[in-house]
Amino acid sequence: MTNAAPRPSGAPDKPVLDGLEATWSRRWDESRVFAFDRSRPRDEVFSIDTPPPTVSGSLHVGHVFSYTHTDTIARYQRMRGKEVFYPMGWDDNGLPTERRVQNHFGVRCDPTLPYDPDFTPPEKPDKRQLPVSRRNFIELCERLTVQDEQVFEELWRTLGLSVDWSHTYQTIDANARATSQLAFLENLARGEAYVAEAPTLWDVTFRTAVAQAELEDRERPGAYHRLAFHRAEGRTDERTDDRTVLIDTTRPELLPACVALVAHPDDERYQDLFGTTVRTPLFDVEVPVVAHPLAARDKGTGIAMICTFGDTTDVTWWRELRLATRPVIGWDGRFRTEPPSGVETPAAVAAYAKLAGATAHTARERVVEMLRASGDLRGEPRAVTHAVKFFEKGDRPLEIVTTRQWYVRNGGRDTALRDQLLTRGAELTWHPPHMRVRYENWVGGLNGDWLISRQRFFGVPIPVWYPLDGAAVPDYDHPIVPDRSALPVDPSAETPPGYAAAQRGEPHGFTGDPDVMDTWATSSLTPQIGNGSPTPTCSPGSSRWTCARSPTRSSAPGCSPRSCAPTPGTTRCPGGTRRSPAGSWTPTARRCRSPRATWSRRATCSRSTARTRSATGRRAAAPARTRRSTSAR
């Protein structure tokens, strides 16, 4: 009988993985295996540009999938002999960060308050948030994002990403702010950026403008109300001998904002009405009856009221038909105190007084009560479920208010620029190929320029000031721009060239633009922020993130900052909904690390196609659905 070989001293009874990953991670750091060598020639460089994850949420299983795919590409290119540029960025500005800071510290920003250098946030946040100055609020944002980024980096390191950790960036750091502000100034110099006062999609919770790309439809219960408008004296419907015109609406509270009735030009039922006027119920305002091809003959009674503003179709009608403006809803989502123009009779003014200061929901209930009492509500409201526009991060329906905002031309109203965007898209290699079609559909669906200004605090400031006339009224047509060597600047705290600080807000002085840029205005520039040089780029990420990178946000508008665009799918919860960092059923990346080793999880992610296992071991669909990517967008 042969004796067994003696067991080496210290050898375990069976192979274990404990400590192995930490050992290799430490060795990678010490030997700088993944550090980028900038001395290598350009044709040997493979540059990867990923959407920086939003640090206000939690990394989840979707991030593990998508970033593992990107890391697989990076490792493959290294094995082919390429010098891989693979930085990591943190998207740490914008509304998500502000909301997290408000909830974490129990504070809210009040720009009217002075800076308190000794401010300390409360140990236990109260439901009634403590108002703090803008500068104090920004300092809290910076403090919390640093902590969150450390947690994110720890998780990414544990997952074994071959990132060059000596090269990281933030979308709010000085370099990112300077890059984004420089791009804005170049847009302005080329005539691509402009300021305009116009109807704007408005989130009443955050009190900020919202861009078209940030909208989402949500099914909400509503009701159709049939209202009777009154024809002019002596006019009746020849077919029914009726002096009323019936319309259906889900927003009767906007009656005081009504500026016209509209029907399709080919609708025979209303031919005799075109060119005449009717009077609104309750508010007795005379409004014209007009024709427009967007009016739906098969919807409701076939004739609708145009209000300023109930939805984007109202905006289109108002602009193309050159109608009057009667705004009633303010920035806070409540009805204005003063009635709009045209509401003049004592009865009409008294009716509007019942709405002043009310929310849209409360005003709707009060208007319905008054219409029922006046006999102008025909029948009872008919319940419906319909799509309502929301800001993707908001919890209340959007309103449309008139505000002054900054826009960047993006092809929505410029055919030549739209063709240029499509040409740039055709130059890319898309993975999977059908994402090129989605990109083209996205570009073709643009119906307005990119609204980039936001009425928030923790973001990249719009780098302009405005001169004041003798009455201290801003001249928005002649903005003052900073010297490019001075970037980044904060016009709310700094002084423009040729002025003294004491002239702020004074006659013949200046005022700074108080707004910040949409976070996409910075995220769309990550090739410049991360690379620092125009190297060939592979950009994994969402189709929306790719779309945001229009040539108008590039310092070299005649070229594309990348050569290929892989787009991962989205992982789903058991109910079929997309996982998100704030979702109620979203396994975090930390849970993905246990009980299996990280590399077994990476192997699973690398093999995944249309269907894969979720972090909990259940089967979960992962279709290539990419309105957002798995990068917390």
Q: How confident is the model at residue 167 (pLDDT cuts 50, 70, 90)?
A: confident
Asked whether the beta carbons of 562 and 574 are under 8 A apart, the reply is no
Coil vs helix vs strand at 151: helix
328: Cβ contacts below 8 Å, ≥ 6 apart: 254, 256, 257, 335, 336, 340, 355
pLDDT over threshold 80, residue 319: yes
Q: Pull the structure tokens for residue 232.
A: 């002019």
CATH number at residue 58: 3.40.50.620
pLDDT digits (tens, 9 = 90+) for 184-242: 999 999 999 999 888 999 999 888 888 877 888 999 999 999 999 999 765 555 555 57
Domain that holds residue 292: 212-402
Q: Which of 626, 451, 452, 431 minimizes the C-alpha distance to 545? A: 626
In a domain, 281, yes or no: yes
The answer to whether residues 598 and 21 touch, using CB atoms and an 8 Å cutoff, is yes
Q: Does 234 share its domain with 330? A: yes
* 258 domain-assigned: yes
Beta bridge partners of 200: 401
**Can you give the CATH number for the domain in which 316 is found?**
3.90.740.10
Q: Which of 172-186, 403-417, 476-490 has the lowest mean pLDDT?
A: 403-417
* pLDDT classification of 5: cutoffs 50, 70, 90: low
Do 374 and 250 lie in one domain? The reply is yes
The token duo for 191 is: 């005539």
Last residue of a domain, one of 352, 379, 402: 402
Q: Are residues 27 and 100 in the same domain?
A: yes
pLDDT digits (tens, 9 = 90+) for 561-591: 667 777 765 555 555 555 554 444 344 555 5
Residue 552 has pLDDT above 60, yes or no: no
Which of 500, 528, 556 terminates a domain? The answer is: 528
The alpha carbons of the chain give a radius of gyration, in whole angstroms, of: 29
Q: How many domains does the chain have?
A: 3
SS3 179: helix
Examine the domain organization and report whether 357 and 413 are in the same domain.
no
Instruction: Answer whether residue 598 is part of any domain.
Output: no
Quote the CA–CA distance of 46 and 84 in Å, as a whole number.
Answer: 5
Residues 102-142 pLDDT 10s: 989 999 999 889 999 999 998 888 888 999 999 999 999 99
Looking at the domain assignment, is residue 544 inside a domain? no
- Answer yes or no: do 148 and 224 share one domain: no
Q: Give the DSSP letter string of 408-472.
A: E--SSS-HHHHHHHHHHHHHSEEESTTHHHHHHHHHHT--S-EE-EES-SSSPBP--EEEB-TT-
Indicate whether 446 belongs to any domain: yes
Q: What's the confidence (pLDDT) of residue 589?
A: 53
